[in-house]
């Protein structure tokens, strides 16, 4: 039977029922395990290479993404593992020019030092540039932090015709927002720190792929570098996924209300949310995505006004990252990101919509 998102989230990765056992077993705190003195390791021997709590989480994420998954200690660990497992000296990688800046920084330093060539392409490029000679195309859609959206199916078809692999950063959308592998991508990568786990208490990343050989190369990289998450982080993440559908529903509802509010204010510019019919990304997002994430971006004109806005708000916390149950705002330029001084990435939490709108309105009024 095919279940809906909420049901799939609640049951993802749960083991078969056993009388007297919990729905989700507690974390296994072990590095080595008892071995058979005659035959050596069985199913589990050493936690860096295999771990039961981690495997349950991977099963859950794989069920939502539609392919086997490997989890990592952070989203950055996952994406660098993917890049280093796939790319070789002389290869060319195409990255989003407006994507997560740390990935671009990694490519412009470590990858270039290894002899990998870099091409930066804006997410909203129309048409997408010729990909002849490119080994890997990494897409990030919606892009972080600008929220542009690209056509995964069309770019995947063009990339494959040119002999390139396609990976999609699915952090902002989550697997309940879109499934890149079903749209033609070869790999999906994400930070589970954000909306997937959603409680601002776990660092996590993952890579998923339908091709066993491709995912096996990533797994070998993980085994040899040890970039695995701890048992308790895996257990917390798995527990949190059960409420993903509920959290996303409220976050999207709040984002829609916040975006509509901001559009009415002459003291706010550059409002972006792919769910707005007026947004440049709406035509693609409305057909490609099953739901729009709870992240809105806008510009308050200056760093000083952003500070005044956040100091006045009672329900909006100043924090980096996004996708949590608490509403947060991040002035991206403070981290060296190439955004305007007053640019804000605004992550809607699960507060009551009317309360959140009232708080934002009051804070904007007092920050002028």
pLDDT in tens, 159-217: 999 999 999 999 999 999 999 999 999 999 999 999 999 999 999 999 999 999 999 99
Check residue 1 and give its pLDDT.
83
Residue 24 CA: distances (Å) to CA of 48, 52, 114, 252 = 21, 12, 43, 28
What average pLDDT does the chain have? 97
Q: What domains, with CATH codes, occur in the chain?
A: 5-241 (3.40.640.10), 245-367 (3.90.1150.10)
Per this entry, what is the length of the chain?
368
Whole-model pTM: value is 0.96
CA distance 177 to 65: 10
Q: Residues 320, 325, 330, CA angle at the centre, nearest 5°? A: 20
What backbone torsions phi and psi does residue 332 show, to the nearest 5 degrees? -65, -30
Check residue 337 and give its pLDDT.
83
Of 84, 56, 235, residue with least CA distance to 167: 84
pLDDT digits (tens, 9 = 90+) for 347-366: 999 999 999 999 999 999 99
pLDDT digits (tens, 9 = 90+) for 267-316: 999 999 999 999 999 999 999 999 999 999 999 999 999 999 999 999 99
Exposure string for 133-143, b = 16+ CB within 10 A, e = fewer: ebbbbbbbbbb
Decide if pLDDT at 73 tops 90: yes
Average of pLDDT values for 110-117? Answer: 98
CA distance 157 to 131: 11
Decide if pLDDT at 345 tops 80: yes
Average of pLDDT values for 229-249? Answer: 98
Side-by-side strand order, sheet with 92-96: 69-72, 205-209, 187-191, 165-169, 136-140, 92-96, 117-121
Q: Which neighbouring-strand residues pair with 317? A: 328
- Banded model confidence at residue 43, pLDDT cuts 50, 70, 90: confident
């Amino acid at each position: 039977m095919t279940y809906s998102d909420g049901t799939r989230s609640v049951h993802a990765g749960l083991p078969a029922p056993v009388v007297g056992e919990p729905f989700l077993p507690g974390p296994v705190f072990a590095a080595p395990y008892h071995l058979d003195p005659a035959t050596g390791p069985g199913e589990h021997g050493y936690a860096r290479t295999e771990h039961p709590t981690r495997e349950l989480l991977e099963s859950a994420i794989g069920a939502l993404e539609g392919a086997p998954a490997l989890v990592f200690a952070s989203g950055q660990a996952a994406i660098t593992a993917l890049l280093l497992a796939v790319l070789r000296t002389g290869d060319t990688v195409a990255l989003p020019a407006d994507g997560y800046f740390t990935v671009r920084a990694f490519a412009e330093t470590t990858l270039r030092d290894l002899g990998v060539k870099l091409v930066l392409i804006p997410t909203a490029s129309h048409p997408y540039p010729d990909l002849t000679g490119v080994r890997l195309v990494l897409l990030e859609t919606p892009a972080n932090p600008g929220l542009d959206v690209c056509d995964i199916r069309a770019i995947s078809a063009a990339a494959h015709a040119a002999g390139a692999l396609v990976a999609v950063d699915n952090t902002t959308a989550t697997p309940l927002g879109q499934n890149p592998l079903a749209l033609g991508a070869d790999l999906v990568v994400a930070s589970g720190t954000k909306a997937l786990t959603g409680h601002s208490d776990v660092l996590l990343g993952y890579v998923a792929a339908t091709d066993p050989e491709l995912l096996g190369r990533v797994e070998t990289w993980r085994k040899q570098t040890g970039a695995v998450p701890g048992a308790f982080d895996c257990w917390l993440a798995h527990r949190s996924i059960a409420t993903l559908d509920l959290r996303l529903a409220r976050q999207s509802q709040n984002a829609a209300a916040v975006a509509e509010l901001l559009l009415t204010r002459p003291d706010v510019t550059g409002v972006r949310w792919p769910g707005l019919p007026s947004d440049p990304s709406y035509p693609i997002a409305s057909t490609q995505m099953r739901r729009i994430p709870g992240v809105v971006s806008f510009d308050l004109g200056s760093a000083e006004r952003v500070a005044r806005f956040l100091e006045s708000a009672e329900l909006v916390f100043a924090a980096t990252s996004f996708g949590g149950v608490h509403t947060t705002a991040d002035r991206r330029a403070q981290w060296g990101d190439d955004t305007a001084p007053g640019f804000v990435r605004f992550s809607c939490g699960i507060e009551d919509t009317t309360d959140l709108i009232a708080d934002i309105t009051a804070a904007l009024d007092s920050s002028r």
